[in-house]
Amino acid sequence: MKRILFVLAVAGVLIVASCATAPETAEPVEKPVEKPAPPPKATVGLPEQEYAQAKELKTKVDRYGLGSYVPEEYEQAEASLADAEKAYQKDNVAAKRALDQAIRGYNAVITKGFPLLVDDRRREADAAMAQADSIKAQRSVPDAYARAKAKYDEAVAAREAGDFEKAAAAFEEARRLFQDAHMQAKAKKDRAEQSMRSTQEGLQDAEQRARAGDAELQGAQ
């Protein structure tokens, strides 16, 4: 009897075991390690936008001669641009890196150079205004002088507002207008001087004639 019970028990266990869901075997599957191959150089896009921006900044810097105010930074920016042009279309990553550097450099030149340029232009305009004042241009050519002064005031306002590009151009224009006013006033002054000189000579001549006439009349009397 014990044997029968034992067999039945084993059979029951086997039946139960056969009905259970087999557990999932989660063995780690090693995938093959794929190192991303570096993209071929030709496929990196040309840094056209950076190049255009750097060239545009350079044009601005050169137009105003800002390089002379901050020569070291200007030379560095120039060198970076030259490097970028060498690498352009050959090693565009290097080209982009150099262009970014050039852009930073030119921007620095603009930031530091423009106030210095504006100060220079202002000094030149001040000198031209002083020259015009010395000849009393405000009185002799009021319209021309007023135009120059208005432009000068405009430049000062732009400088105070931090618009250096506008200030530089306006100071330059003011200088030219003051010089023009000075020239106009000088022409009028020269003409007046010449006329006054000849009138003075005429008065002296008239006096001599009259005195000679007096002498003759008194002699006759």
| Cβ distance to another protein smaller for residue 14 or 196 | 196
Q: Is 185 in the site for another protein (CB under 8 A)?
A: yes
Q: Is 130 in the site for another protein (CB under 8 A)?
A: no
- Span interacting with another protein, options 88-96, 104-112, 138-146, 167-175, rule CB under 8 A: 138-146
Provide, rounded to whole angstroms, the least separation between the CB of residue 187 and another protein. 9
Provide, rounded to whole angstroms, the least separation between the CB of residue 219 and another protein. 10
Select the residue interacting with another protein from 137, 158, 174, 181 (CB under 8 A): 137
User: First and final CA of the chain: distance in angstroms?
Assistant: 196
| Cβ distance to another protein smaller for residue 86 or 211 | 211
Q: Is 195 in the site for another protein (CB under 8 A)?
A: yes
Nearest Cα residue to 110 out of 67, 75, 54: 67
Residues 6 or more apart from 21 whose CB is under 8 A from it? none
- Does residue 69 sit in helix, strand or coil? coil
Q: Is 213 in the site for another protein (CB under 8 A)?
A: yes
Provide, rounded to whole angstroms, the least separation between the CB of residue 206 and another protein. 5
39: left (phi over 0), alpha (psi -120 to 50) or beta: beta
Select the residue interacting with another protein from 48, 72, 75, 214 (CB under 8 A): 214
Q: Is 138 in the site for another protein (CB under 8 A)?
A: yes
Q: Is 188 in the site for another protein (CB under 8 A)?
A: yes
Q: Is 181 in the site for another protein (CB under 8 A)?
A: no
Q: Is 143 in the site for another protein (CB under 8 A)?
A: no
Which class for 96: exposed (0-12), middle (13-18), buried (19 or more C-beta within 10 A)? buried
Backbone angles phi, psi at 60, to 5 degrees: -65, -45
Q: Is 193 in the site for another protein (CB under 8 A)?
A: yes
Q: For residue 162, give the DSSP letter.
A: T
* C-beta of residue 70 within 8 angstroms of C-beta of residue 109: yes
Cα separation, 147 vs 151, in Å, equals 6
| Cβ distance to another protein smaller for residue 41 or 136 | 136
Q: Tell me the two tokens of residue 200.
A: 């003075």
Radius of gyration of the chain (CA): 46
Contact set with another protein (CB under 8 A):
135-140, 185, 188-189, 191-193, 195-196, 198-200, 202-203, 205-207, 209-211, 213-214, 216-218, 220-221
